[in-house]
Amino acid sequence: MIKYVLLVSRQGKVRLSKFYITLPPKEQKRLIKEVCGVTLKRSSKLSNIVDLNGERYIIRRYASLYFIACIETAGDSVGNNNAATSEVAAGKKASLTNVDDGDNTGGEEVIRKFGDNELILIEIIHHFVEVLDRYFGNVCELDLIFNFHRAYFILDEVLLAGELQDSSKNAIINSIKSMDATADQSEEAMATTEQQVMHAIKNTFVPGANQQ
C-alpha cells in the first residue's frame, strides 16, 4: 500500500499531495518537509529507493518534478496500523498473515505483514507520469499548477486507497475525458441559465427594455 504521494518541484514547492493514511496536519507538514529536504539534495545517480526515519520512499525525477511515494515495509507492524489493529481485535485477518512460531506459548497470534514491492511501485509512478503525459500532451510543471484539479482526478483514477486501481492508460484517459465532457456541459447550462436570469431581471426592472 502507498501511504502518500507527493509531487515536488526543484524549488521545493509541493504541486500535489495525497495521503492515504490518517495523520494530523502538523504531522503531514513535518513528513513533507523531511522528505523534501532529503530529495532536493540527492544526486540523480543515487537509488530511487530511500529509507528515512523508519519510512521507505520511492523517488523518481521527471524534468523539474520529483514524484515521491511513501510505501509500506515489512517492518510496519500491526501496532503501527490502527485499521489493522481493529481488524485483529474483531477476529479478522485481512491481508495479514497469521503465523504460529511454536514459541508463542501464551496462545497469542503472531501477526506479520509483508512490505510492498519497490520495483512495482517504481513502475506505478511511471504509469502515473505516462497518463499525465498522454492527457496533457508533454506534461510540464505549469500544467499541474493551472490544472491541479485534473491532476488529482487522474491520480484518483490510478490509485484507490493507496492501491493500483487501473493499469490501463486508455481506460483512465477515457474516464477523465468523460468527466471533462460532463463538466463542460454543466458550465454551458449554467451560462445559459445565467443569461436567462439576467434577461428576466433586465425586462423586469429596466424601463423600456422590452421595446429594444
H/E segment holding residue 205 = helix 169-205
Q: How many CB atoms lie within 10 A of CB 10?
A: 13
pTM (two decimals):
0.66
Distance CA 132, CA 122 (A): 16
What integer pLDDT is reported at residue 211 of this predicted model? 53
What integer pLDDT is reported at residue 203 of this predicted model? 67
What integer pLDDT is reported at residue 194 of this predicted model? 64
Q: Which of 163, 167, 72, 70 is nearest to 128 (CA)?
A: 167
Name residue, grid cell 520529483.
Answer: 66
Q: How many CB atoms lie within 10 A of CB 61?
A: 15
What integer pLDDT is reported at residue 100 of this predicted model? 46
What's at 95, amino acid-wise?
Answer: S
What integer pLDDT is reported at residue 88 of this predicted model? 36
What integer pLDDT is reported at residue 73 of this predicted model? 74
What integer pLDDT is reported at residue 119 of this predicted model? 86
What integer pLDDT is reported at residue 196 of this predicted model? 62
What integer pLDDT is reported at residue 191 of this predicted model? 62
Which residues in the chain land under pLDDT 50?
Answer: 78-102, 104-112
DSSP 3-state helix, strand, coil percentages of the chain (rounded to 5)? 50, 20, 30
